[in-house]
Amino acid sequence: MPSRTTRPITLAGPDAAGFANAQLTSDVLALPTGQWQWSGWLDPKGRVRALLQVARITDDRFVIVPRGGDGEMLANDLKRFVFRSKVTITLGDACFVSDGDAHDDMHAHESEDGALVLGEGGASIRIGTRNDNDAWLARHIEKGFAWLPNEALGELLPPALSMERMLAVSFNKGCFPGQEIAARLHFLGGHKRHLRTVRPDVALHAGQSLRINGRDAGIVLMHKESDELRMSLVVLDDSVVQEETLEIEGARLHVLSTFAA
């Protein structure tokens, strides 16, 4: 059974590309029609209020897929910045995220049944009414493609979600909210939290705080459990990752991989 739903947001109109480019972290103007890209929306302090997948369906119509959070709140907040831009913002119904057939990496299209299909090379995800397959979840945990629980919204900086690795942040396109802090981290470094895939010895849940000796050491973003597999995507302080196996309060974590900022 699927474990995620989302409410896509459509931006349409002659100024849709420019509006999205001014608000989001990625270079939306460079996105070709029929493709998608990783992106985000930051608060003024540079923290990630939304991690996004943005698809350009036609030259002047974009579909934004929030990976966690309240789509209605996000759409309403975006509308506050429209001003005189010729763009309409439409919130879609709740859609299931399901596994799809193989499509070229970063390919995007709408299927005959109205689903948004986002290609990943050997697979894809479908955003639509189909409610049948969550195989994508383990794949995204393994690749470090986060889905944000409510507890993580507005709490993490882009390096903690490996957004530069995903090409979700561009520093060559002009200003966007939170750019100053994001650029400082990019050029000067110093961020001490990184995204990691771990294998826990107990079931974890998204949004769970990870603690060592009573101190906050990180947070669980995603967890996948089956008879053959138990794997989580977490953000951890670099200072606590000294060994491949970590003793966290209530769990032991075996670190499988660490993702660059």
Give the amino acid at 206. A
Is residue 57 domain-shared with residue 145, that is, in the same domain? Answer: yes
Does residue 175 share a domain with residue 244? no
At which of 159, 187, 215 does a domain end?
Answer: 187
What pLDDT is attached to residue 193?
94
How would you list the strands of the sheet with 209-212, edge to edge? 209-212, 215-225, 230-237, 193-200, 251-258, 245-248
- 87/196 same-domain check: no
In whole angstroms, give the CA distance from residue 24 to residue 258: 26
Where a domain ends, among 187, 209, 229? 187
pLDDT of residue 147: 98
- Domain check: are 135 and 212 in the same one? no
Edge-to-edge strands, sheet with 108-110: 5-6, 95-100, 124-128, 116-119, 108-110
- Check whether residue 153 and residue 198 sit in a common domain: no
Structure tokens at 217: 């050491």
198 and 110 assigned to the same domain: no
Q: Quote the CA–CA distance of 119 and 100 in Å, as a whole number.
A: 8
Residue 252 shares a structural domain with residue 156: no
Considering the domain architecture, whether residues 218 and 144 belong to the same structural domain is answered as no
36, 130: one domain: yes
Residue 90 sits in the same domain as residue 162: yes
Residues 153 and 71 occupy one common structural domain:
yes
Query: Digits of tens for pLDDT over the chain (261 positions)?
Result: 456 999 999 999 999 999 999 999 999 999 999 999 999 999 999 999 999 999 999 999 999 999 999 999 999 999 999 999 999 999 999 999 999 999 999 999 999 999 999 999 999 999 999 888 899 999 999 999 999 999 999 999 999 999 999 999 999 998 999 999 998 888 888 789 999 999 999 999 999 999 988 889 999 999 998 877 899 999 999 988 888 888 888 889 999 999 999
Give pTM, 2 decimals: 0.95
Check residue 2 and give its pLDDT: 52
Same domain, 239 and 176: no
Domain, as residue range, for 196:
192-258
Where is the domain boundary, 172, 187, 202? 187
Task: Domain count for the chain, please give it.
Answer: 2
In the prediction, which pLDDT does 1 show? Answer: 47
CATH of the domain at 253: 2.40.30.110
CATH number, position 136: 3.30.1360.120
